[in-house]
Every structure is written in C-alpha cells, then in structure tokens.
A = this chain, B = another copy of it.
C-alpha cells in the first residue's frame, strides 16, 4: 500500500493546500506525529515509512514478551498499517527504508526492502523519527549466534525461540540499567539462571550509588549472580556449544545466551548524511517546536537532543513518554500551531522482581556534573502506607533541593509499593517549579491502605524545610570518620544489632536525663534508625547549646552508603 495509490483522495481542507508530509520511522514519536497531524489537518497528504515489518508497536513491552508475561505478539501492535489507512487516511509503508534526503529538492530516496526497488518521494514537510540503536561494543564475539540486543519484535522473537529451541538454562545480561534489569526479571520468569555484568559499581546509572544499593541486595537474594564494576572483555564460543562471557577482570561466565543491554545510541546516519546539525550529545539538534536546522525538516524521539528542564543543558533521553509528546509538538508545528516542547526531566521507573525503582529530575551526581553546588538533600524511609495498617513496606527516598529557595531539583525512590506514585507527585511539583514547602503542604490521598496523614511526600518536604530553616543541620555521610562524636540515639538492642563504627549509644528516652554527659565543644553527628529520633535529639541538643547535626536517614541510609562501598 502506498499513499500514491490512495483509494480515498482527501478533500482539500480549509487550513492548508494539499501538503505532502512524510514521516521516517513509524514507532512512538513518528506514529504520534502522523496521527496527531491528521486530526489537525484533513487536507494534508501523510505517509509513514518504516524499515521494519511493523509500525506503532509497544517497544517497552518487548522484555515482557521475551519473558512470556505478554504471551500474544499481537498485543504489542498498537496500530496496523490498515488502521492508519482506514482511520487516518495515512499511508504506511513497512519494510521500506529511507536511504537519503535531497534537502534542496525536498525529496527523499525510498527503498522497498522486499523488492529492492528504490523510488524518490517529494515532501513539503519531513519528520525524522529514526529512534536509537542498541550499542554493540567492538569486542570479540559480540556477533556470535546467541548474543542478542533487544530493540524490536523480530529481536524478541529470535530470543524467544533461541530460549525454547535450545532449552537455554543460563543467561548473561551485560548492563544493569533499565533494559538490563527488565531482561533479568523476564529471563528469570523463563526459569533461566541469570548473571549480570555491569561495568559501573552500581545498578541503574541514572541513580546516585547509595540509592541503587538496595537493587544489588534484592537481585542477590533472588538468586541473580552479580558482577558489578566489571565490564565485558569478549565472548567465546564453547567447543561443546554454548558461550562463555569473559569479563575485564577475567571472570568466565557460561551462557546459553547473552543479552547486550549497554544502552542505545541515536540513529543519526540519515540526518548527518543530509547535513542536518548534530549536537554535542550525538543527537539531532531541534528547536522547541522539534524543527531541525532545516526549516522543512522536523525530528522527534530517541534520536534528538532536548533540553533538560532543570539545568537547561541538552540531553538525549530515550523514553517513550517524551517521544510521544515530541511527535505531538512536531505535528502542531507543521499544522502552524505554536506549541512548544517543555524539555525533559527524566522521570523514569523500572520494576525488577517485586522491587520498584523510580526517579525524576536531577541526581546528585548529575548536579555535580553540571557544576551545581547550592543544593541540599534529605533521606527518609517511610512506610508506603500508615504503619498501623498491615503490610506497610518502606520506601527509600532521597530528595534534592536548591538552597536557599527550596526549589525541588530531583528525587529518587526504591521500594516495593507506592514508589512511583511518590515520584510522580514530585515530578508534577518539579514541572510546576514547586518548592519543598509545597511538598510539605501537599494535600494527598490518605486512607490507611493508601498513604498516611503525613504522606512520604509531605515528610520529605518537612525534612527539607527543617534543613533550609536551620532547624536540622545535616551532616555529610561521606565525611564519616572525621573527628566528630557519632551519637546513636536508638535503644540498646537496636544498637547492639548493628551500628555505625565508632558510634556511642545514648537512647533518646534517656537523653533528657543524661545530655549533660555530652561534650559542648565538639560536633555531634546524631543517627537513629531512619532519622526521626535523631531529629528530635538534634532539636533538643541544639536548643541546649550543643553543636548537633543529623545524619539524614539514619542507620538505613548508612547501610546503603556502606553497601555502595562509599563508606566503611
């Protein structure tokens, strides 16, 4: 089917003359753009080209299709070429590659991958939505049979049949980010023994290391073999069949299959060949209306650079949500509307074997990388709902905010339940320029099974307020070991069960009787279980003239720093 032989020539609309709008890439951004444009302009001639056999498929569902959580491949197909034609009068050509752009002539070269026949197509407006390709490192063995990356439905099919045809028992996943973790969960769901090889010493690179620490423990307790801080060196083929993944540190990991989940790289070959501006982050440069350096060409999705809404710096963020909104913005720009893309704040979530990890806005390392220093942070570990209602599970939460205005900069959370809910609320607050005071005053849903009278979001805001107004000076976990008095105000049994090296124990319940025993001339860094009792002690001692500091998040945060190898 081609729009050239469109059986339903559209009437000419009132807005534009019959323009030809061509879209390269029919997933997420491209599909959204085409469908949105039709709703705005009946008169335009719209055609979509995709190199693959499908358009508009659910990219983010692929790992779950491999894991057979999604059993029916058809479920992944959000829309078919027939539906695009019928509903939107949009001509979709699959298995069709766009091989070149003649910008002066406003013509693209198109090749039918089945027939091999090429043709050229004129455009008035061109939209590029080529996406991003999985990174395949130039290492020995990465192209062996049984080594897979996962980007599309055919990839998923190949992995599925490789697992079932060979009754695969063992898998090595290279990379501990979003896709890596989702593949771990799904391969385990397929009953494989899974090993993860991650070059960084932490999972989920977007997170700060101490916030990623619980993932490590969670995977280990779920039987996943972990090699963190160790990269891929090569992959060998075993004489008897199967593969051996060899790490940079020399570990030899047997694998019936290997998943490369190292990350993705924007597909810019076509754009670069056409002389479009490419940014420093390796993505296509676009303006707020998703227009490239060529006024007749727009670009959307994983291949473009977009501004970080917080820092203003250009970034590449391969996520489906922004891709869809970018496609929408491009369509409105083509239709003559002034809509602008607001940039991204990197809100993301991943679930792995019952653990949920989510974040929004800037991380601490991201802020430092951007040279931002006037910020503070708090850690807390509240239950996901009221503690008096059965089944409350802790949410490990880190909130970053600027000094002195209290503007929210970012948040990271890890836990079992209600994790992404809190990140979504904070994401909305960040989007609207909210402060920690707004979080403290937020009026959120509360019933015992859903939250608490002081929701974790409220608590995060209140703690941050305490820091900003000087009520609760916070000590630096990374400076543990400096010459301060470490005071643990938990009860003796808690202290005995484990405490920060060098800490002395004076339970909060005895503090009012015994505070005189403490030195007035030394900094006192106070900790407890999760930070609350230490906060009470900090307030008490500060008002009695002591130099009291709170170790935010208490022993729970200490163990996270320790497990991340950041402190003794």
Contact = CB atoms under 8 A, between A and B. Distances in A.
Interface of A: 8, 11, 13-15, 28, 38-43, 58, 60-61, 64, 69-70, 75-76, 78, 86-89, 182, 319-325, 342, 344-351, 356, 358, 360, 386-390, 420-421, 423-425, 427-429, 431-434, 438, 440-451, 453-455, 457-458, 471, 508-509, 512-513, 535-536, 539-540, 543-544
Given A87-B508, A453-B324, A536-B39, A431 B443 contact: yes
Given A344-B443, A388-B70, A453 B323 contact: yes
Contacts of A87: 508-509, 536
Nearest to A14: B543
A99 to B, nearest CB: 29
Nearest to A35: B536
A445 B347 contact: yes
Contact of A61 (B13, B64, B388, B425): B388
Contacts of A429: 428, 432
Q: Which 10 A-B pairs have the closest CB atoms?
A: A349-B445, A42-B543, A432-B432, A420-B445, A320-B453, A421-B421, A39-B539, A428-B428, A347-B443, A75-B388
A425 B425 contact: yes
Given A64-B448, A321-B443, A424-B424, 8 more contacts: A39-B535, A70-B388, A86-B508, A86-B509, A321-B446, A349-B445, A425-B427, A427-B445
8 contacts: A8-B513, A39-B536, A348-B445, A351-B447, A420-B450, A424-B457, A427-B444, A432-B433
Contacts of A360: 443, 445
Copy number of this protein in the oligomer? 2
A388 B58 contact: yes
Nearest to A323: B453
A164 to B, nearest CB: 20
Contacts of A509: 86-87
A182 to B, nearest CB: 8
Nearest to A537: B87
Among A323, A433, A444: residue with most chain B CB under 10 A: A444
Nearest to A71: B390
A453 B28 contact: yes
A72 to B, nearest CB: 9
B512 A86 contact: yes
A427 B425 CA distance: 8
A427 B15 CA distance: 38
Interface centre among A346, A440, A447, A454 (most CB of B within 10 A): A447
B512 A89 contact: yes
Most buried by B among A344, A428, A509: A428
Contacts of A14: 543
A321 B512 contact: no
A438 B15 CA distance: 27
